[in-house]
A = this chain, B = another copy of it.
Amino acid sequence: MPNATVLLKEPSPYGKLTTGNFEVRRSTKVPTEADLGPNQIAVHTRYISIDPYLRMRMSGTDGPYATGYRVGSPITSFGVGDVVASRHPDYPQGCQITTSANPWSTYAIYDLSDPQLVAALQLTKLEGPLADVPLNWHVGVLGMPSFTAWYGLLEIGKPKAGETLVVSAASGAVGQAVVQLGKSLGLRVVAAAGTDEKVAYLKDTLKADAAFNYKKVDDYTKTLKELCPKGIDIYFDNIGGEFLDAVLANVNRCARIAACGAISQYQKDEGQTYGVKNLMSVVGNEVTFQGFIILFHYQTHYVKFVEDITKRVKDGKFNYKLDITKGIENAPQTMVDMMEGRNFGKTVVEG
């Protein structure tokens, strides 16, 4: 079994990420109990979640959105794995854990002496309902992006049946969940994605009322006007930029915009961030444009989310498409590809 660890080599504050920003170290070492101090556990990474917000962490500097990775330190993200050796009684060998700070490493050692650190890592043993589902659900349908979709649509979007919902990056990790939740709530769902294959998936499998390939459209404002004849009531914003301006030109009074991310802007060169011009529409239409960071809402909402989504999936009413790449050593290329939209579904690397 290859044993790889991915570290930050060269921070990338602007422009396109490349695999040269990462360093992959290999080793044949597999940790055993002899390598552990008191209260430490060794975990074999089974899946890591690769998400657009990590692009900001690759800047190497701390921002409000996320802390930057440090040169020479491992990249971390949400992940799930098997405890292969343990010196902590609550996390015996054979159990499984999930954490928001899983190193991109085939094996990782966690020190669980300090309960505050365990909380900060959001390290959770899979038991009860969490153990009762396929393992990759924890980086898939039960993962952070899916929770993001659920929280943003319900808590910020405040949907009412019959309203029109627009979703950008709609076949991605967050978008595909937003589309399906929107449909199940009786919304008219208009979805935008970047390939014809994704558009077909959105229409045929996820049953979006309308979907379009934004790369083949000249004028977002005109397209949204055509596809949303009653105007836009809710916009789930994953991309920011020019598309947001087009949405603002088509919103109804008291529209809600769940500001989740701005992937269209993350790889811009310095000083090239798109300036949003239609903010007077926020005033004139009494729009609520509200940002959120899902990490702050686990404690209050995650259990409710898990119950709700698990039921939906088991009822066969919820699809969740994963785009799985094998091998931690391939995580850098996988992330580069995702940032350029070459993923199809939620991006995951299998360790």
Q: Which residues of A contact B (CB under 8 A)?
A: 63-66, 240, 244, 253, 259-262, 265, 273-277, 279-293, 296
Contact = CB atoms under 8 A, between A and B. Distances in A.
Contacts of A292: 283, 286
Contact of A65 (B265, B273, B280): B280
Given A275-B275, A275-B276, A296-B286, A64 B281 contact: yes
Contact of A290 (B277, B280, B288): B288
Contacts of A283: 65, 259-262, 291-293
Contact of A293 (B64, B277, B286, B290): B286
15 contacts: A64-B253, A64-B281, A244-B279, A259-B282, A261-B283, A262-B283, A274-B275, A274-B277, A282-B290, A284-B293, A286-B291, A286-B292, A286-B293, A286-B296, A287-B291
A279 B289 CA distance: 10
Given A275-B276, A277-B275, A279-B276, A63 B284 contact: yes
Contacts of A240: 279-280
Prevailing SS type, chain A contact patch: loop
Nearest to A297: B286
A287 B290 contact: yes
Q: Which 7 A-B pairs have the closest CB atoms?
A: A275-B275, A65-B284, A64-B284, A283-B291, A282-B291, A289-B289, A273-B277
Nearest to A285: B64
Nearest to A272: B277
A66 B274 CA distance: 27
Contacts of A281: 64, 291
Given A64-B285, A284-B65, A279 B262 contact: yes
A262 B248 CA distance: 15
A259 B280 CA distance: 8
Given A64-B253, A262-B280, A280-B240, A285 B275 contact: no
A99 to B, nearest CB: 22
